[in-house]
Amino acid sequence: MRTVAVVGASLAGLSAARSLRKQGYDGRLVVIGDELHRPYDRPPLSKEFLAGSLAEADLALEPDAEDLRAEWLLGVRAVGLDGPQRAVRLADGSEVRADGVVIATGAAARTLPGTDGLAGVHTLRTLDDARALRDELTLGGRLVVIGGGFIGAEVASTAYALGLDVTVVEAAPTPLAGPLGETMGTIVSALHADHGVRLLCGVGVKGLSGESRVDAVLLEDGRSVPADIVVVGVGARPCVEWLAGSGIELDDGVKCGADGRTGLAGVVAVGDCASWYDPRAGLHRRVEHWTGARERPDAAVTALLAGGAVEPSAPRPPYFWSDQYGVKIQFAGHAAGADSVTIEEGARDDRNVLAVYRRSGHPVAVLGMNQPRLFMRWRKQLATAA
């Protein structure tokens, strides 16, 4: 291979570029990113960066001395892929021809329809999003967070610490029931009430009110929640529109094998846009976690460089973390399919628990709240048992 193009310059793209060099690839390496920023770390955007305790320089993912000998094309969006030619078309009309392509275009925050142009309404995905939201939060006021998932909960926690009046609106009866199951979703989301943050569950959002600036969130049950700032945290969609017509199979993201290979020779996909086959579960799924974006490119690059001549090694069980109201929340494995969950250590009322999810008696997932040591032991056990 003489040229490899990595499309996407966030964690997954950077990890792929690093893996390429680490695994001995010595050819031309082009990294394409639609943001102007060098690769930066996103998890602090809803936490330390938003709170003002981490500066932009602290978000950089590259140490000063790192040199990947890559050509960085930043601030330019990929708009198409010629599959057979493996040519990436860019928004400025140019194209990058490559022997290998790594698709790492990530996901974009979902928005609420009809809220464009209304001041005070934010999503949180990029550094620019976080800058804009941080500037408003420093003014204080009433914040309504739409969506009680991890991003929404972290923003609520950060804003609470900054002294804002915070309400979280969640359409599902139990927040976090998808990733954590109902029992633990209830326990984790109780952190809001512990701190006087209102949590309204089981009610959808009908729309927002306000002339040029938002002034309230209108709920489907007729209630209206006054708001000076609104954060919409209702998930993300994979950024794969640019691959239409490329011959790449798309199905909630780029459909990949268990090592990130797509149906096109010389093209792999990693990170939030990629829907990898999970041999244990027997299905494809997108794993939108930092750890997957960091670790899976190693396997995808191995597959890319070997042309598929190596057997994929099973990735570790998915792992993610969250920090809310000073509590460290960690989760590994898959809660879906568990038939029991038991608290093995700590007390739910102290928000200090280690919970194990089992299916037919076998551990399939583990949750820790302020239990990093025990959690790590269980996480290790999950990985070796799998």
With CB under 8 A, what is the number of residues at the site for another protein?
27
CB of 23 vs another protein, minimal distance in Å: 14
Question: Degrees (nearest 5) of the Cα angle 6, 319, 14?
Answer: 20
Does the protein bind another protein through residue 72 (CB under 8 A)? no
User: Among residues 330, 333, 334, 353, which is the contact residue for another protein, using CB under 8 A?
Assistant: 330
Residue 271 interacting with another protein (CB under 8 A):
no
Burial of residue 222, with CB atoms counted within 10 A of its CB: 0-12 exposed, 13-18 middle, 19 or more buried: exposed
Q: What is the DSSP letter of 202?
A: S
Separation between Cα atoms, residue 258 and residue 267, nearest integer Å: 14
Among positions 63, 93, 114, 361, the unique one binding another protein when judged by CB under 8 A: 63
Asked if 134 interacts with another protein (CB under 8 A), we say no
Closer to another protein by CB, 142 or 195: give it.
195
Q: How far is the CB of 374 from another protein (least distance, A)?
A: 9
Q: Which of 97, 328, 348, 358 binds another protein (CB under 8 A)?
A: 328
296 makes contact with another protein (CB under 8 A): no
Establish if 163 lies at the interface with another protein (CB under 8 A): no
Helix spans in the chain (H): 11-22, 48-51, 127-137, 150-161, 177-194, 290-306, 372-385
Both tokens of residue 130?
């976080």
Q: Which CB, 43 or 120, lies closer to another protein? A: 43
Contacts of 258 (CB under 8 A, 6+ apart): 276, 277, 278, 279, 312, 314, 315
For residues 324 and 187, give the distance between their C-alpha atoms in angstroms, rounded to a whole number: 13
Q: Quick one: which of 192, 255, 294, 296 contacts another protein (CB under 8 A)? A: 294
Of residues 48, 129, 182, 249, which one binds another protein by CB under 8 A? 48
Residue 379 engages another protein in binding (rule: CB under 8 A): yes
Nearer to another protein, 224 or 313 (CB): 313
Binding of another protein by 373 (CB under 8 A): yes
User: How distant is the alpha carbon of residue 95 from its chain centre?
Assistant: 28
Rounded CA-CA distance 276/255 in Å is 6
Dig out the tokens for 252 from the structure: 């909630």
Q: Angle 150-161/127-137 helices, nearest 10 degrees? A: 40
| 127 near another protein, rule: CB under 8 A | no
Q: Which stretch binds another protein (CB under 8 A): 8-16, 28-36, 161-169, 240-248?
A: 8-16
Site for another protein (CB under 8 A): which residue of 41, 129, 182, 278? Answer: 41
User: Does residue 222 touch another protein according to CB under 8 A?
Assistant: no
By CB atoms closer than 10 A (0-12, 13-18, 19+), residue 142 is middle
Residue 61 contacts another protein per CB under 8 A: yes
Within 8 A by CB and 6+ apart from 293, the residues are 10, 11, 12, 15, 104, 270, 271, 272
Q: How far apart are CA 249 and CA 265, in angstroms?
A: 13
Q: Does 60 bind another protein (CB under 8 A)?
A: yes
Q: Is 291 in the site for another protein (CB under 8 A)?
A: yes
Q: In the structure encoding, which two tokens stand for residue 319, read together?
A: 């792992």
> Which one of 59-67, 78-86, 102-110, 170-178 is the stretch in contact with another protein (CB under 8 A)?
59-67
Nearer to another protein (CB atom), residue 54 or residue 218: 54
Site for another protein in 165-184 (CB under 8 A): none
Which segment (11-19, 168-176, 256-264, 348-356) binds another protein by CB under 8 A? 11-19
Helix, strand, or coil (residue 50): helix
Q: Residue numbers of the site for another protein (CB under 8 A)? A: 11, 14-15, 18, 41, 43, 48, 53-54, 58, 60-63, 290-291, 294-295, 321, 328, 330, 372-373, 375-376, 379-380
